[in-house]
């Protein structure tokens, strides 16, 4: 079964899993006023950002090297290992990623995933499939998204971002997400010389094709992806101890996702602990799935679930068992990490303790 043996992450809380875990336990969002570019003409003015204007590809190179070092990959092993990446593609993306793979001593860039906010989870699913099938001994997966003026403007002009500066997933009164800087890298391999962070037990992808930017109200896409992940692993819904939800704090998407969770995990859905950590580290767009895989790894490792921050009160459309207070342990030994995106794409990772 594919295992995650190396793991590196960067969020607005700082660099490394310890910084992310401390930030999550603080229950304080990493949100600040945006200074990276001018927001005076926008409705929203806040994001979860690192200081200054960091270079995404330089940070990805550092994170990939850190994950490979943690997995104790030799130079020879790295030279046989491909790289799969999830980023927002631009004119020079291919060239920069080719240079990234070479700088890290990796064999090649195998695939670039750009499936909106489900990109990183889809990239991990591909890596796990390659390892499970024996096509590769190991794969490095990297993903990144830093808040920039063009993406901020696009989301703000569409009326998606929270003008309040606070994301409130699954909550009454929610009015949208807060964007966040995020990047991560993991090593997925069949065997290894170090104790793994977790196992990738199953994965599922779906495209519901309902609307270009609105979800199906019954969550048909995410529900199908969850069901596929459970089938692949041969695991029943009673084994799910935690769901790290995509939940961007938008009324329609959160309601659709809640319906999907309840439907796919029936009859246990109402009793499975759920939280969306985007309320804390921000919505990292293409990097979301990898940052949130790290969150799940930390939650399973420490035996404590991150809270669903910003909650004001219950919403009848989101009748879930939300983690609202610190100290809750996972209900069982598996976690679901769920990500969806515009165009009706969904990607689910079923993660298990090593």
State the catalytic residues.
Answer: 117, 246, 283
DSSP 311-335: --S--TT---EE--STTPPPSSSEE
| Plot region of 330 (φ>0 → left; ψ -120 to 50 → alpha; else → beta) | beta
Pairing of strands 138-145, 83-86: parallel
Pairing of strands 273-275, 46-47: unpaired
Residue 11 to residue 169: CA distance in whole angstroms: 19
CA proximity to 144, closest of 36, 10, 17, 29: 10
List the beta bridge partners of residue 10: 15, 183
Cβ atoms of 277 and 306 within 8 Å: the answer is yes
Compute CA distances 68 → 63, 75, 109, 304, whole Å. Answer: 9, 10, 15, 27
Give the end-to-end CA distance of the chain in Å, rounded to a whole number. 10
DSSP helix, strand, coil percent of the chain (3-state; round to 5): 35, 25, 45
């Amino acid at each position: 079964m594919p295992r995650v043996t190396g793991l590196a992450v960067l969020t607005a809380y700082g660099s490394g899993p310890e910084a992310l875990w401390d930030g999550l336990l603080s229950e304080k969002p990493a949100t600040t006023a945006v200074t990276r570019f001018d927001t005076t003409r926008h409705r929203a003015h806040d994001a979860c950002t690192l200081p200054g204007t960091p270079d995404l590809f330089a940070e990805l190179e550092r994170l990939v090297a850190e994950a490979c070092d943690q997995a104790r990959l030799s130079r020879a092993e790295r030279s046989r290992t491909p790289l799969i990446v999830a980023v927002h593609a631009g004119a020079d993306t291919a060239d920069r990623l080719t240079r990234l793979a070479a700088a890290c001593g990796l064999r090649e860039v195998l695939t670039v995933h750009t499936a909106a906010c489900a990109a990183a989870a889809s990239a991990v699913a591909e890596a796990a499939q390659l390892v499970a099938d024996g096509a590769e001994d190991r794969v490095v997966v990297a993903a990144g998204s830093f808040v920039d003026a063009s993406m901020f403007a696009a989301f703000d002009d569409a009326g998606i971002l929270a003008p309040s500066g606070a994301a409130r997933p699954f909550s009454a009164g929610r009015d949208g997400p807060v964007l966040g800087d995020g990047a991560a890298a993991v090593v997925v391999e069949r065997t290894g010389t170090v104790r793994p962070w977790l196992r990738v037990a199953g994965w599922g992808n779906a495209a519901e094709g309902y609307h270009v930017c609105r979800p199906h109200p019954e969550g048909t896409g995410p529900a199908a992806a969850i069901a596929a992940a459970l089938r692949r692993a041969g695991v029943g819904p009673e084994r799910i101890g935690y769901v790290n939800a995509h939940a961007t704090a938008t009324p329609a998407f959160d309601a659709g996702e809640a319906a999907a969770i309840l439907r796919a995990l029936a009859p246990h859905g109402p009793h499975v602990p759920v939280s969306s950590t985007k309320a804390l580290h921000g919505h990292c767009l293409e990097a979301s799935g990898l940052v949130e895989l790290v969150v799940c790894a930390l939650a399973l490792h420490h035996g404590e679930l991150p809270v669903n921050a910003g909650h004001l009160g219950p919403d009848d459309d989101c009748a879930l068992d939300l983690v609202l207070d610190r100290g809750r342990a996972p209900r069982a030994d598996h976690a679901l990490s769920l990500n969806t995106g515009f165009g009706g794409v969904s990607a689910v990772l079923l993660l298990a303790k090593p």
